[in-house]
Amino acid sequence: MKTLLFLLGYAKRYRVPLAITIVSMIFLVGLQLVAPWIIRTMIATVTNPESEGVSTALVGRLALLALAVYGARAVLQFLRSYTSHVAGWRVVSDARQDIYEHLQKLSLRFYEDKQTGQLMSRMVNDSNLFETLIAHAVPDILVNVLTLVGVSAVLASLNWRLLLISLVPIPLIVLGMRGFAKYVRPAFRERQQELGELNATLNDNLSGIREIKAFVQEDAEAARIGDHITRFLHSNLKALRMMAVFHPAIEFSASLGTIILIYFGGQLVAGQALPIEDLVAFFLYLEMFYQPVRVLAGAWEQIQEALAGAERVAELMNEQPDVQEQPDAIDLPGRVRGAISFNDVSFRYSRGEMVLSHINLDIPANSVVALVGPTGVGKTTLSSLIPRFYDVVEGSITLDGHDIRDLTFKSLRKQISIVLQDVFLFHGTARENILFGRPGATDEEVIEAAKVANAHQFISQLPDGYDTIIGERGVKLSGGQKQRLAIARAVLKDAPVLILDEATSSVDTETEILIQQALERLMLGRTTTRTVTSVIIAHRLSTIRSADMIVVLEGNGVAEMGTHEELMALDGLYRHLNEVQMQMEPTWEIARTRRQQTAVCQ
């Protein structure tokens, strides 16, 4: 019932097209009841010896009446079909929009164990079934219930005893439908689940097609996709097998009424207790009587499919974000200075151990702070707490003295630019990806941002310059080019807080220099009146020696804090990490030289 109410909540937005649909169906049912009565009247007229003089003229008028009836029925069928589809597809459109907006509200924790393909399946495939319910199943049920009531009234006027006898199969049909609903909806839900799994795996494989080819896993992945296809096939056939049993059972039950009418109606006509024209009309109306029962059986299947999809959608819509905006959240008044404070902050993922414990850290405005430490100590996690991608378990984080939990998401995140090691670029042009930082910026501002990011030169050399399609995730660009495009995006946003998550760790030395120059310009601010507070997560410690403060994380807390010179003098973890990297640098240089020599020889 909750699932049905969930769907009807969308349907009530389109009362006008649904009202037109209902009115059309009511008149349509009335016209359908007239046609058999015309035939009965015609038979009664031509078989009555006393009507020889008027039979020809009456038959002509009956034919004209039938023409008008069937013409009006065609118009009403158009109205019923079109307006119901208008309502149905608008419901689907609204549902998909609401699902996407809800997905945007969910925190990153929700996506950690979810596959993109599964979520896409719920948004597209499952919501698609709503149209079937609104435009087909519900109108079919309504029109056929009205037909049952109307036909029953006409049959009762012809011969109520025959009507009662003809109703014998109805309880069997009702019991069959109730039993069917108990088993078929879980079967259809299982089918939708398997379809979602197939979509999810297919999405992963198409996104990772390079890795599949590089590791020669085509056969293995083809087998894995084939396994999902087979499982969907079996789940689909299981649901269809139930339908294949159900429909013939309904047809057989309905045919029992015809058999009963043949026996008892034939006896009544033979005994002259029932006129022949009434028996003919009774047969015509009885077909109309059982046709709705058959249609209702099909509509029942559609309802079960739609409700199975709606259950999955409702389940998704009931997910609540871990990070929620306060009802009385405030907007930041303009551009902040960028002073950030971590006050006794602790954090864990789900129910695991504390990743960060009792972190106290003050980041002054217009300063450069670097976070360093071994892999897995929580550097990225610490930076992700600033834009509230996750919420602290204990303590608080303030921006210019404002607890970030008291701020609206939009006003908080407008103050922050992020450049990640794993750059995500959208399928589109270079210009569109830079404009993502600030839609509506002028071409001059886009070009200026690209120059600051050392990206203008390579963009200008692309086939169509700034209007070159860079492919999904920027597949047509090198790693360094993607990184500089991401920096240009951050430059154009021009936010007072900048987070750099190992932005130069996976590029060659020459590209690293270009990126480092771009980052230095970005950290200095685009104009002398702008200040930027920078939080850098560093892999190569040589890139952050000039930082105002270096924070060394170890375990789940802060081990050391100070400038490069101060930390080197401490002879602690930071000095050890520096010495290890310095020892590795000759090895890296030797490996780079060998690669270059090999390339020349080839």
Give the C-alpha separation, 102 to 106, whole Å. Answer: 7
Region 100-122: mean pLDDT is 78
Q: Does 565 fall in a domain?
A: yes
Question: What is the reported pLDDT for 360?
Answer: 93
What is the mean predicted confidence (pLDDT) over 81-96? 85
Q: Considering 317, 333, 365, which residue would you say is the last residue of a domain?
A: 317
Task: Output the domain CATH number for residue 385.
Answer: 3.40.50.300
What is the per-residue pLDDT for 298? Answer: 64
Question: 18 and 134, same structural domain?
Answer: yes
- Averaged confidence pLDDT in the chain: 79
> Do 387 and 333 fall into the same domain?
yes
What is the Cα 127 distance to its own chain's centre?
Answer: 9
Mean pLDDT score, 429-451: 88
**Distance separating alpha carbons of residues 372 and 277, to the nearest angstrom:** 95
Phi, psi of 491 (to 5 degrees): -60, -45
First vs last C-alpha separation in the chain: 70
DSSP letter at 50? Answer: G
- The tokens for 293 are 């029962």
State residue 514's pLDDT score: 66
As a whole number of angstroms, the distance between CA 125 and CA 199 comes to 10
60 found inside a domain: yes
Number of Cβ atoms within 10 Å of the Cβ of 413: 18
Question: Could you tell me the CATH number of the domain that includes residue 116?
Answer: 1.20.1560.10
Phi-psi region of 445 (alpha: psi -120 to 50; beta: other; left: phi over 0): alpha
- Which residue among 273, 300, 317 closes a domain? 317
For the cut 50, the answer to whether the pLDDT of residue 590 exceeds it is no
Confidence at residue 121, expressed as pLDDT on a 0 to 100 scale: 77
* Distance from C-alpha of 520 to C-alpha of 329, rounded to nearest angstrom: 34
The 10s digit of each residue's pLDDT in 485-509 is 888 888 888 888 988 887 655 555 5
Measure the CA–CA gap between 145 and 29, rounded to whole angstroms.
Answer: 10
Distance CA 325, CA 35 (A): 62
* Shared-domain flag, residues 139 and 60: yes
Domain containing residue 407: 325-415+531-602
Determine what percent of the chain is predicted with pLDDT higher than 70: 82
Question: Within 13 A of 59's CA, how many CA atoms are on the CB side?
Answer: 13
For the residues 391-400, what does the mean pLDDT come to?
Answer: 92
CB 76 within 8 A of CB 27: yes
Do 313 and 365 have their domain in common?
A: no
Which residues lie across from 346 on neighbouring strands? Answer: 394
Q: Can you tell me which residue has the tokens 């495009």?
A: 485
Residues in the chain, total:
602
Q: Which of these three, 290, 317, 344, is where a domain ends? A: 317
Establish if 27 belongs to a structural domain: yes
The number of folded domains in the chain is 2
Q: Residue type for 330, please?
A: I
Q: How confident is the model at residue 586 (pLDDT cuts 50, 70, 90)?
A: low
Task: Give the helix/strand (H/E) hosting 348.
Answer: strand 340-348
pLDDT tens for residues 291-330? 776 666 667 767 777 777 778 888 888 888 888 888 889 9
Mean pLDDT across 243-258? 71
Q: CB within 8 A of 417, min separation 6: which ones?
A: 437, 490, 493, 494, 495, 497, 498, 499
Q: Report d(CA 308, CA 125) in Å as an integer.
A: 11
Provide the pLDDT confidence category of residue 602 given band limits of 50, 70 and 90: very low
Residue that the structure tokens 């939708």 belong to: 192
Nearest residue to 150 (alpha-carbon basis) of 29, 280, 20, 329? 29
pLDDT in tens, 119-146: 887 888 788 777 777 777 777 777 777 7
Residue 99 shares a structural domain with residue 193: yes
Of 43-57, 221-235, 302-316, 530-544, the range with the highest mean pLDDT is: 221-235
Task: Tell whether 459 is covered by a domain.
Answer: no
Per the CB < 8 A criterion, the answer to whether 555 and 373 are in contact is no
